[in-house]
Amino acid sequence: MQIHVVQKGDSLWQLSQKYDVPVDDIAAANGLSKQNILVIGQSIIIPIEAGSHKVLHGETLWAIAQRYGVTLKELARFNGIKNPALIYPGQTIVIPQAVKPTIEVNGYTEKFGPAGVEIIEKIGPYLTYLSPFSYRVRPDGTFIELDETAIILAAYEQRAAPMMVITNFENGTFSPDIAHAVLANPEVQERLIANILDLMENKGYLALNIDFEYVPPADRELYNAFLQKVVDQLHPRNYLVSTCLAPKQSADQIGTLYEAHDYPAHGRIVDFVILMTYEWGWSGGPPLAVAPLNEVVKVLNYALSVMPPEKIIMGMPLYGYDWTLPYVKGGKWAPTVSPEAALNRAIQYGADIQYNEESQSPFYSYYDEEGREHIVWFEDARSVQAKFNIVKAYNLRGVSYWVLGIPFPQNWYVLGANFTIKKLV
């Protein structure tokens, strides 16, 4: 595939003529209709197998590598270019057709019943794991059960392994008290593990994901010991065990979200970890990219210093936010916006999409009917391609999406163009 950035005057028909690709194929790859209006700065997937690229005025080798989903080093080596800065207009760059690496892909879902089944029928081919969110643990080692039978059956039909998720979630947030009640009491832990095993066997789960957040820092070693107990009891039954880790950039990062998450211990004990590499820009905070690549890379660099890459799954968001300006701390929270809705809003208000190179994220500003300024940060084909390039460069185990059901057709096309998805079922 190629990724084309829309310029003034572009239309789907013109792109079809330029790249010699049917309009229907371009529309399908991007989740568009043939009548869709394009936005200046919008990224459009061009579904072609490109063998070469003729350098245009002002293009860099790095930009060409990004467009075709290959690394700069790979592209330079393949073309015998010793200095990537020395390319010129009209030069032909051969695009290497690399073998797609195989990765694991996890998708969390909060959709159950028919709505959840419909999502899995569409997205299931791209998933290694389906993770219904979530079994909420009580202080006594029991948990609030889910009615997820329909989506587990749908997952099996798509060869996606169901992964049970347990959390210390209560009343809209993660509870340090529940985490402590479990981690400080061996009897509660044994009851919880027994309940997990019974449920996994009865419902057909193949893996467990432990998402304990805001664990009291003093309980760090207790948490590590609990994980070892879980692994010791689940591994003999051939169940995989994973955890979610807050996005730390150093071992001594301060804050209740971070301190009890011991990267070296989790990397040693469990089968894999899911790094929650998103929410730099969040609903109650100032406007920022949700998953800025420059910050994500810092988390990955720390993680890779204490655990092997084959144990690391990088978190990816399927959403953005729309902030009303000026941002006021403690003021109205920014609503979530899907990439599809973000494009429609840009069309509605006549906004041009910009792209921040440092964070590798698209954004735009607009004024609403009441004259209030807004800024929208979201994801597009370019931003996910940039993240996939990091997955390949670092040889990571895979990626994990929060959360399924948010319309973003481009993501799944780009994912499939870059990787072969591992199936455990």
Task: Please confirm, yes or no, whether 213 is among the known catalytic residues.
Answer: yes
| Bridge partners of residue 53, in order along the sequence | 93
Judge whether 288 and 361 are in contact, CB under 8 Å.
Answer: no
Judge whether 70 and 53 are in contact, CB under 8 Å.
Answer: no
Judge whether 324 and 334 are in contact, CB under 8 Å.
Answer: yes
Question: Which of the following is catalytic: 213, 259, 295, 379?
Answer: 213
345 token code pair: 């809003």
- 293 Cβ neighbours under 8 A, 6+ residues apart: 359, 360, 361, 383, 386, 387, 390
**Could you list the active site residues?**
213
